[in-house]
């Protein structure tokens, strides 16, 4: 080999194409007499390590979680004291380009111009965020994580996604905090369950490689998904007329991230209120989320749509008004990202169409002008979705 390498090491990947690429590379290097070793770094447990009593993959999270959390989690290894870099030979440098030449950051246009106010890349930033979460955010996490107007989540998902911090590091840091502060037991366990959910999504991706392309439950391939591109565009732009949905979609576009509870509300709205194929939402999130993950993203979309293994039932259709009133009662989140409603009375914030005209005028809200009217009626949309699902199941019977 041009580089003079005598061995190759890398961390494992779990997508269908990634596995195929790595397998071909291993075979090629083996023919050249170069030993290859791959390691587990992205997950707490490898997908093939947590199986049911029949040796088959779990399809339901609860038993998977019990089995996974009963296993010891290997502690992270200490960082090497010193890494000595080799010299690249001239033939290997002939086609080299500079990092700036790769144009990894957007410039024309710079659609991520505002992201730096919210995210700092790198391992040091990930460690700082972990420490801040444990010190200030872990207490009350079990409840606060559902309140988008609070700083109730860790915001570590982008760092996990790009390997800037490992789930094992997080696991042991949380466990250490629980040992020192027993009152953090429930909150810490909830966070560890979220890490286990992440592993579960990778197990599903490993065993069902088409997770982002095909509905796991075939009935969903018979649903007459809407082809209304105007509805899809209104959802993407945060102009649906439902404040909590619009706040989430605008947060996504502005910051590259969306609060987890609001992700579920927005995903439910797209697939059930608008009856748009979940794959359209999965693609949009993949293109816009800084933490877009091939396993989590696909599985969570199928979970909300009801088409995946261990999914929320299709008849669970979030009412975006009630969700907004329950999880953002004071409007701290919604008013931040939907400033047109900043002066709306809280009791009408999530249903501005119900506010008396005089109160809307006083708040400067003109439906259809300053803020859109709802693009779909909740009750009618719910019935349409339930009918579509029933027909799909009957047609497959």
End-to-end CA distance of the chain: 58
Question: Could you confirm whether 48 is annotated as catalytic?
Answer: no
For residues 390 and 397, what is the distance between their CA atoms, to the nearest angstrom? 11
91 phi, psi to nearest 5 deg: -60, -35
CB 65 within 8 A of CB 193: yes
Query: In sequence order, what are the beta bridge partners of 11?
Result: 39
Block residue for tokens 């587990």: 40
- Single out the catalytic residue among 119, 225, 253, 286: 225
- Single out the catalytic residue among 119, 197, 253, 286: 197
Question: Could you confirm whether 194 is annotated as catalytic?
Answer: yes
19 C-beta neighbours (distance < 10 Å), count = 14
- Single out the catalytic residue among 123, 260, 286, 359: 260
- Single out the catalytic residue among 16, 164, 194, 359: 194
Give helix 278-288 / helix 243-255 axis angle, nearest 10°: 40
Give the chain's radius of gyration (CA, Å).
24
For residues 389 and 152, what is the distance between their CA atoms, to the nearest angstrom? 35
Question: Could you confirm whether 280 is annotated as catalytic?
Answer: no
326 phi, psi to nearest 5 deg: -75, -45
129 C-beta neighbours (distance < 10 Å), count = 20
List b or e across 354-363, with b for residues whose CB sees 16 or more CB atoms inside 10 angstroms. ebeeeebeeb
Quick one: residue 145, left, alpha or beta (phi over 0 = left, psi -120 to 50 = alpha)? Answer: alpha
- Single out the catalytic residue among 235, 257, 278, 303: 278
Kindly give the residue spans of alpha helices, DSSP state H, lying in the chain: 16-31, 61-69, 90-93, 123-132, 141-144, 157-161, 167-180, 185-207, 229-237, 243-255, 260-268, 278-288, 296-305, 320-327, 332-337, 357-362, 378-395
For residues 50 and 207, what is the distance between their CA atoms, to the nearest angstrom? 12
Written as six digits, the tokens of 322 are 């009630």
Question: Could you confirm whether 278 is annotated as catalytic?
Answer: yes
- Single out the catalytic residue among 280, 301, 303, 319: 301
Distance of CA 262 to the CA centre of its chain: 11
Question: Could you confirm whether 257 is annotated as catalytic?
Answer: no
Block residue for tokens 């195929």: 20
- Cite the active site residues: 194, 197, 225, 260, 278, 301
């Amino acid at each position: 080999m041009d580089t003079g390498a005598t061995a190759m090491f890398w961390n494992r990947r779990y997508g269908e194409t990634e596995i195929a690429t790595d397998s071909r590379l291993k075979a090629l290097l083996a023919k050249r007499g170069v030993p290859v070793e791959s390691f587990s770094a992205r997950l707490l447990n490898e997908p093939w390590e947590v199986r049911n009593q029949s040796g088959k993959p779990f399809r339901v999270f609860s038993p998977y979680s019990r089995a996974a959390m009963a296993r010891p989690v290997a502690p992270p290894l200490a960082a090497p004291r010193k890494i000595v870099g080799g010299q690249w030979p001239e033939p290997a440098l002939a086609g080299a380009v500079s990092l700036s030449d790769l144009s990894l950051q957007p410039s024309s246009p710079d659609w991520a111009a505002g992201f730096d106010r919210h995210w700092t890349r790198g391992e040091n930033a990930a460690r700082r965020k972990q420490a801040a979460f444990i010190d200030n955010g872990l207490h009350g996490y079990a409840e606060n994580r559902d309140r988008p107007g609070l700083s109730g989540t860790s915001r570590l998902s982008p760092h996990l996604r790009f390997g800037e911090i490992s789930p094992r590091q997080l696991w042991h840091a949380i466990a250490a905090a629980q040992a020192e502060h027993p009152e953090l037991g429930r909150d810490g366990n909830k966070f560890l369950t979220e890490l286990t959910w992440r592993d579960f999504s990778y197990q599903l991706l490993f065993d069902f490689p088409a997770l982002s392309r095909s509905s796991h439950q075939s009935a969903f391939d018979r649903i007459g998904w809407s082809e209304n591109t105007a509805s899809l565009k209104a959802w993407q732009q945060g102009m649906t007329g439902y404040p909590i949905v619009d706040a989430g979609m605008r947060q996504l576009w502005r910051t590259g991230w969306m609060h987890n509870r609001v992700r579920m509300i927005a995903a439910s709205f797209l697939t059930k209120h608008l009856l748009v194929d979940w794959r359209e939402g999965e693609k949009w999130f993949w293109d816009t989320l800084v933490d877009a993950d091939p396993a989590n993203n696909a599985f969570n979309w199928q979970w909300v749509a009801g088409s995946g293994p261990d999914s929320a039932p299709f008849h669970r259709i979030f009412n975006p008004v009630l969700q907004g009133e329950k999880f953002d009662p004071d409007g701290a989140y919604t008013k931040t990202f939907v400033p047109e409603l900043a002066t709306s009375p809280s009791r009408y914030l999530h249903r501005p169409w119900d506010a008396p005209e005089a109160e809307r005028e006083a708040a400067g809200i003109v439906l259809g002008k300053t803020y859109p009217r709802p693009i779909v009626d909740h009750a009618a949309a719910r019935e349409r979705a339930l009918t579509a699902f029933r027909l799909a199941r009957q047609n497959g019977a």
